Amino acid sequence: MIYGEKFEEALMYAARLHRTQMRKGRNVPYVTHLLAVAAIVGENGGTEGEVIAALLHDAVEDQGGAATREEIRNRFGDAVATIVDGTSDTDVIPKPPWQERKRNYVAHVSSASRSVRLVSAADKLHNARSILRDLRAEGEVTWQRFSVGREDQLWYYRALVDAFRTAGGTDEIVDELEEVVEEIAETAA
């Protein structure tokens, strides 16, 4: 599959939206995460629309809420906007409490569309890989970057693995996600 002009537009749009954002606790431009998630989606059979949604998956949550959602819908269509919406755990500012958001998201993902699960699983896989890399390099200080600690993070990732497994359709990504989460548990123990 060859990506077209909409992909190029999404790439530039995502880079502009997240231009000043960095990864949590690191001096790494946030756009690297978006590119990694898009790559995972593309490498696992994602359509161009799914890859575009992967580039934009955090735009509503982190860069403007409902107004950004409508801009994505206008620029990239309903299908992409629906996937982006399905991968966002909130568009409310300030965000609701972490535990509430994550419980709701786990419940949502188990019945979400295949496209939403693909982008979500790719996002969670990249996040888990990043946590594992940071734990290996920096140790337990890694957990200080997050609003909740090790046990809550492990609960969330394990609950997501279970939800993705129940829903099906993203087996290779979920297999790797589960492996990485268990490595995190062993590294952090």
Measured between alpha carbons, how far is 94 from 101 in angstroms, rounded to an integer?
12
Backbone φ, ψ for residue 21 (5° rounding): -90, 140
Name the one residue in this structure whose structure tokens are 């297999």.
Answer: 175
Q: Is residue 48 flagged as an active site residue?
A: no
Catalytic residue status for 62: yes
Is residue 158 a contact partner of residue 181, using CB atoms and an 8 Å limit? yes
Paired tokens of 27: 């001096």
d(CA 188, CA 134): 11
Catalytic residue among 50, 61, 134, 178: 61
Asked if 61 and 91 count as a contact pair (C-beta separation under 8 A), the reply is yes
Q: Which position among 48, 62, 138, 175 bears the catalytic label?
A: 62
Could you list the active site residues?
Answer: 61-62
